[in-house]
């Protein structure tokens, strides 16, 4: 039972945001301008002060102070088509389910400030990981996941130094907050069968799917990471960028709460299924990124970017409980490192209007042998368009649209209660982002 709670509580993080945004549960929504070209300019773009987050070395290209604020709306949809899911004694668990990805709104803010002849200061506030999913309480995979809500806030102050006209360097510190609230169902009928025996449980009326309970885990944590970047500008046409962002290891502390139906209360006599403090470990991945921009003509610029995320840091998810009747829970993930590759372009229609477009291919870190109803993640294709409008000097407004598509994924998962959920999963999302930039 405890293994089910913990795996649901943290692994469900993987499900929603991967469809709605980036590989697994990473989020790429940190600036509207770069979203318009599928993030292909992240380590080389200087259209807005989000450059402080994408690659702090880029801040040396700013002549003066600049700030930007924005928000992205992620409007996702996903569907499970179950082919024959059953509980421990072979009874059907339920049918298809859809609409599990809840709409999400991701805000971001950035600032760049020259502080000396060759020094710049930056600050970025973003949400680099997260999701929001909600299933029907009676869906076939309820014993593996119901509600999942993960939020992160990343506060990233940074410094940049301009060595000369060709080389700049930058670095920063990430002060990161994580908050999670996740739930799953408990099949106390199956628990009773395994602990007491079918005959006595039948006499008590505690049968599989007839005495459902619920487990919920809440936790939060603050932790620290860091990032380093550099740029190389050999001439007026080309710019190359490199950026490394460290992983952040979190230890979420909070509470595990259990809802036990009246007819199954006797199963708590051993001390199990009692509310208890808990802590969970979540090692968020490091990322390496390189990119380039080429100013083909005075009006047209092409961008390319590749990022490699060290998802292999998520080999397992471990939770410890204060209640000694509930031993540590370990859920193997066996994630593998994965890449994201993108290309895009800008074209200046006039002094006031710029249009852009891009495409990205996003690999999943989830391996086929470990894909399940809770982790049906798959590779994604992202199509992007966007525009910038500068109605008056020093004010720019950006708008971007992304279409995220994920192919059909087959899963077959056996849960803690010997419930088998198998079928097909499909998902897609529309992303709309808007931001405003003010230069001083």
Parallel, antiparallel, or unpaired: how do β-strands 147-162 and 287-295 relate? unpaired
DSSP states along 322-383:
SSTTS--EEEE-----EEEEEEEEEEESSSSEEEEEEEEEE--S--GGG--SS-----EEEE
Beta strands in 233-272 (DSSP E): 238-245, 248-259
Q: How many CB atoms lie within 10 A of CB 172?
A: 24
Closest-CA residue to 278 (of 16, 10, 47) = 10
pLDDT for 20 equals 45
- Whole-angstrom distance, CA of residue 39 vs CA of residue 430: 15
pLDDT for 408 equals 77
Q: What angle do CA 279, 283, 286 make, to 5 degrees?
A: 160
Determine the straight-line distance between the first and last CA of the chain, rounded to whole angstroms. 58
pLDDT for 321 equals 85
CA 195 and chain centroid, separation? 38
- Whole-angstrom distance, CA of residue 164 vs CA of residue 157: 23
Could you tell me the residue ranges of all domains in the chain? 2-439
> 271's torsion region: left (phi>0), alpha (psi -120 to 50) or beta?
left
- Residue 389: in which H helix or E strand, if any? strand 380-392
pLDDT for 14 equals 33
| Helix %, strand %, coil % of the chain (to 5) | 15, 55, 30
- 2-439 carries CATH number 2.40.160.60: yes
Q: Tell me the two tokens of residue 426.
A: 């499909």
pLDDT digits (tens, 9 = 90+) for 120-142: 999 999 999 887 777 888 888 88
Contact 85, 26 (CB under 8 A): no
Report the chain (440 residues): mean pLDDT per 10 consecutive residues.
31 36 72 95 94 97 96 84 76 73 85 96 93 79 83 96 97 95 88 91 90 91 97 97 96 93 91 91 93 97 97 82 80 85 97 97 85 73 96 96 86 79 82 96
Q: What angle do CA 216, 218, 219 make, to 5 degrees?
A: 150
């Amino acid at each position: 039972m405890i293994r089910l709670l913990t795996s649901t509580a943290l692994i469900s993080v993987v499900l929603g945001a991967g469809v709605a945004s980036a590989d697994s549960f990473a989020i790429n929504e940190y600036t509207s301008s770069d979203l318009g070209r599928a993030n292909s300019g992240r380590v080389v773009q200087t259209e807005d002060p989000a450059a402080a987050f994408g690659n702090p070395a880029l801040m040396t290209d700013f002549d003066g102070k600049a700030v930007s604020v924005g928000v992205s709306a992620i409007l996702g949809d996903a569907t499970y088509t179950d082919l024959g899911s059953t509980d421990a004694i072979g009874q059907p668990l339920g049918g298809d389910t859809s609409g599990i990805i809840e709409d999400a709104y991701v805000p971001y803010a950035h600032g760049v400030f020259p502080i000396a002849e060759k020094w710049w200061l930056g600050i970025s506030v973003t949400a680099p990981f997260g999701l929001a999913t909600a299933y029907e309480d009676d869906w076939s995979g309820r014993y593996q996941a119901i509600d999942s809500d993960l939020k992160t806030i990343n506060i990233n102050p940074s410094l940049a130094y301009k060595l000369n006209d060709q080389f700049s360097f930058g670095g920063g510190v990430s002060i990161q907050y994580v908050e999670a609230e996740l739930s799953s169902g408990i099949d106390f009928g199956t628990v009773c069968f395994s602990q007491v025996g079918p005959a006595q449980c039948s006499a008590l009326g505690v049968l599989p799917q007839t005495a459902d309970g619920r487990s919920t885990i809440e936790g939060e944590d603050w932790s620290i990471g860091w990032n380093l970047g550099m740029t190389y500008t050999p001439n007026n046409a080309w710019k190359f960028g490199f950026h490394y962002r460290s992983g952040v290891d979190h230890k979420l502390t909070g509470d595990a709460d259990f809802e036990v139906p009246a007819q199954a209360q006797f199963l708590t006599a051993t001390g199990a299924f009692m509310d208890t403090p808990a802590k969970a470990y979540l090692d968020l991945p490091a990322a390496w990124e390189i990119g380039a921009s080429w100013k083909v003509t005075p009006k047209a610029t092409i961008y390319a970017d590749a990022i490699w995320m060290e998802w292999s840091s998520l080999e397992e998810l471990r939770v410890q409980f204060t209640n000694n009747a509930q031993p540590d829970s370990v859920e193997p993930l066996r994630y593998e490192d994965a890449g994201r590759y993108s290309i895009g372009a800008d074209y200046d229609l006039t002094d006031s209007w710029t249009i852009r477009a891009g495409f990205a291919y996003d690999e999943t870190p989830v391996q086929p042998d470990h894909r399940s109803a809770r982790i049906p993640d798959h590779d994604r294709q992202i199509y992007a368009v966007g525009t910038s409008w500068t109605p008056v000097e020093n004010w720019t407004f950006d708008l971007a649209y992304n279409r995220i598509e994920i192919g059909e994924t087959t899963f077959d998962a056996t849960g803690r209660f010997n419930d088998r959920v198998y079928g097909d999963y499909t998902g897609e999302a529309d992303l709309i982002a808007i931001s405003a930039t003010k230069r001083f």
